[in-house]
Chains A and B, each alone.
Chain A
Amino acid sequence: MYGMIHRAVRQMVLDTRGEATWAEIERAAGLGPAEMISAEVYDDEVTLKLIGATAEILAEPVDALLLAFGRYWISFAERGSFGRILDFTGTDLVSFIGNLDNMHQGVQAVMPDARMPSFQLVDATPGRLIVSYASTRTGLERFVEGLLLGLLDRFGLTGSVSERPANGHGRQFLLTYSTT
């Protein structure tokens, strides 16, 4: 995964637990500044090592950490250099999710080694969306769930996200939220 993910994990830990905890995680994962270069694509093993060490030091199950991190990722991205790109992608939940693949194509253009997931709006009715998610990676469903919760936060919506039995390729997530 690209280094921006690592930077986001670091920032989440710094925001919530402080520098000493992050230093402990770095030591446990055997990582340093060289693994924090935004545009560098690192082997997934490095990212998994980081997630594993973070979960261990924070004493949280990996799934819970991935969920929290997915939610944090959206606010991290919108505060940083990529914030304007998020704004460009969509000004409401439906258009944003509908344009995610377009946005990822732009990312892919400048980082050809990055492996981008695909999101499709399967069904959209007021207050209810079904989003399909496909990726060459596995095991990141809780992260995706967190991302979608982060998007609800981004657009000021209150609701929930759950994974639902998928038909065919990929996984499906149901978003329900209040439109008032």
Chain B
Amino acid sequence: MQIEIDEAVLRVLFPAFLILDGSGRIREFGPTIARRFPTIASGDRIETHFTITGGAPDGDLSALVDSSQTFTLVGQVDEARLVGMVLRCSAGLLLTLRMSPESFLLDSSDYTMADFAPGDPAIHGLLLLSMQRALLDEQRTVVRELAKERQSSVDLLDRVSRVAGFMAHDFNNFLSIIKLTSDRMRIELRDQPRLRRMLDIIKSTAARGSAITRSLMTLSHQRDDTRILVAIDDMIRDNIQFFSTIAGTDVQIKVELAAPGLVAEVSPVGALNSLVNLLMNARDAMPEGGWVTIRTQVRKLPAGAAGGSDEPGDCISIEVADTGKGMEPEVLAKAFKPLFSTKPSGNGLGLASVLDFAREAGGDACIDSAPGRGTKVHILLPARIAPDVAAAHEPGLAGPHAGSALAPTILLVDDEPYAIEALAELLEAEGYAVTACESCAQALVELASKPFRILLTDIIMPGENGIALAEAACRMQPGLKVVLMSGFVPEGQSMAEDWMFLRKPIDTAILTSMLRLALDGPVAAE
């Protein structure tokens, strides 16, 4: 069969065509051939530029005329491959060739779309693989950018965090001085209620300043979880309005407090968070509304309770009881497990954190619940008799050893002269014999010269570190009690387990009760 095709059409349909004359010489060729094989000229023998493989016996292309057999030409120079069929035309043989890429990666070739006939599947293949490759490159770039961006954010946050921490430290030092000095003046102004009222305003304003430092410490990842003696009944009474807000309008709150005069050594933040978690659970258990009773009473802490002693002792039981639907036994069995929740959006950490809080304080927690009978959660905390805090605050009520040779000795170290002055005076009024130092070096000299019961030291001081001082002091005087104080603890600082920590700004009542705890024996902190 002989066909005649208009050359313009031929160039479009088979841009890599070749026309050979009867003697096997190239007479015409398509644009792809011209571009990719620039040395080809009319009259050249095909074997000069190509090796004929596949399908043509002995390289005789005329044998393939009118057959559906394909053959392959491989370029002599760049080994480009062309595949096609042979047709007879008026000039001789028409080789309907198309480029056959060895690789579909554009990066390793110099193909253009014009090398292929429209609709040639090679175009799509080359584009597809190249697009995927380009997108992978792009994604690698994006990943690098995102990683860099993330690192920048982390660095920025870290810088902000450190600045916030040190601001909190300095601010807390000033607040401490204001609060301690106010307490001193309150003693002096015993008979002047108007001036005492003004001092109360100063103290109250300092307390607001403390709230700001707490925000700064949150920014610097510092947790305000100092364990102090907390009068549980008072804490609940002070927060009833807050609890009502959490419970919502459909839930009524009833409070029955029966642990007056007792305190527990807990983190106030942890205690409040635990009650908030229990109230939220109670609210969720009563979508139609109901009652929540917050009840305290004195009970016996079971022997062997986490953190407790082997002997049963008094404990404050905080009970949060709801009138909700109660728990199925299988739910009850898993209720304290971290990450277990029956709520669609629950994280399963609420009850688990309540249990952690109770156990960290040396107590325990338990649940009493059944379907249709509501739920009661009990937090059991080791109880202590409340120290007469008010007496400690009142003017002129000095401690039992005031001025005597039996007064417990305190080595007080702080680089702020005003803080030293205020603290020393308050502690002396409490009955302690105070040796004050404005530097660690000075403190070490004092430690070498006489024994002390307590080291009360700031942590961050210019060029010095209260923790290093405490370590040295404990080596010099084994049995020395250590109370560290700071408004900011930089990361990486570690303290011995039996040391106590007092967060600035210092509250006089907390300071004095902590010092008494230090003298009375080791703190039951687990």
Binding between chains A and B: yes
A52: CB under 8 A from chain B? no
User: SS class of chain A's interface: helix, strand, loop or mixed?
Assistant: helix
Q: Which residues of A contact B130 (CB under 8 A)?
A: 84-85, 88, 106
B138: CB under 8 A from chain A? yes
Q: How far is the CA of A103 from the CA of B292 in the complex (A)?
A: 68
User: SS class of chain B's interface: helix, strand, loop or mixed?
Assistant: helix
Most chain B beta-carbon neighbours within 10 Å: one of A33, A36, A90, A103: A33
Q: Which residues of A contact B114 (CB under 8 A)?
A: 90-91, 95, 99
Q: How far is the CA of A105 from the CA of B111 in the complex (A)?
A: 18
- On whether the beta carbons of B135 and A38 are closer than 8 Å, the reply is yes
Q: Which residues of A contact B112 (CB under 8 A)?
A: 87-91, 95
Distance between B8 CB and nearest chain A CB, rounded to angstroms? 14
Report how many residues on chain A are interfacial, defined by Cβ distance under 8 Å: 28
- On whether the beta carbons of A84 and B128 are closer than 8 Å, the reply is no
Q: How far is the CA of A37 from the CA of B145 in the complex (A)?
A: 10
Most chain A beta-carbon neighbours within 10 Å: one of B111, B124, B130: B130
A168: CB under 8 A from chain B? no
Given that A105-B124, A106-B128, A110-B132 are contacting pairs, would A84 and B149 also be in contact in the complex, using a CB cutoff of 8 Å?
Answer: no
B134: CB under 8 A from chain A? yes
Q: Which residues of A contact B149 (CB under 8 A)?
A: 32-33
Q: How far is the CA of A103 from the CA of B130 in the complex (A)?
A: 11
A107: CB under 8 A from chain B? yes
- On whether the beta carbons of B124 and A106 are closer than 8 Å, the reply is yes
Q: How far is the CA of A99 from the CA of B118 in the complex (A)?
A: 9
- On whether the beta carbons of A88 and B128 are closer than 8 Å, the reply is no
Q: Which residues of B contact A38 (CB under 8 A)?
A: 135, 138-139, 141-142
- On whether the beta carbons of A95 and B113 are closer than 8 Å, the reply is yes
- On whether the beta carbons of B113 and A102 are closer than 8 Å, the reply is yes
Q: Which residues of A contact B132 (CB under 8 A)?
A: 110
B407: CB under 8 A from chain A? no
Most chain A beta-carbon neighbours within 10 Å: one of B111, B127, B142: B127
B137: CB under 8 A from chain A? yes
- On whether the beta carbons of B124 and A33 are closer than 8 Å, the reply is no
Find A88's partner among B111, B137, B138 (CB 8 Å cutoff). B111
Q: How far is the CA of A4 from the CA of B128 in the complex (A)?
A: 17
> Restricting to A131-166, which residues have a CB under 8 Å from any CB of B?
none
> Restricting to B109-140, which residues have a CB under 8 Å from any CB of A?
111-114, 123-124, 126-128, 130-135, 137-139
Q: Which residues of A contact B111 (CB under 8 A)?
A: 88
- On whether the beta carbons of B127 and A33 are closer than 8 Å, the reply is no
- On whether the beta carbons of A106 and B127 are closer than 8 Å, the reply is yes
Given that A36-B142, A38-B138, A88-B106 are contacting pairs, would A109 and B131 also be in contact in the complex, using a CB cutoff of 8 Å?
Answer: yes
A80: CB under 8 A from chain B? yes
Interface flags, A72-94, vs B, CB<8A=1, else 0: 00000000111011011111000
Distance between B120 CB and nearest chain A CB, rounded to angstroms? 10
B146: CB under 8 A from chain A? yes
A39: CB under 8 A from chain B? yes
- On whether the beta carbons of B138 and A85 are closer than 8 Å, the reply is no
A-B contact pairs, 20 of them (CB 8 A): A4-B138, A38-B142, A39-B138, A39-B139, A80-B134, A80-B138, A81-B141, A84-B130, A85-B127, A85-B131, A88-B113, A88-B127, A89-B112, A90-B112, A90-B114, A102-B123, A105-B127, A109-B127, A110-B128, A111-B135
13 extra interface residue pairs, beta carbon distance < 8 Å, beyond A82-B131, A84-B107, A88-B130: A33-B146, A36-B142, A38-B138, A38-B142, A81-B134, A85-B130, A87-B112, A88-B106, A88-B111, A90-B113, A109-B131, A110-B131, A110-B132
List 3 A-B pairs, minimum CB-CB distance, nearest first. A106-B127, A38-B138, A81-B137
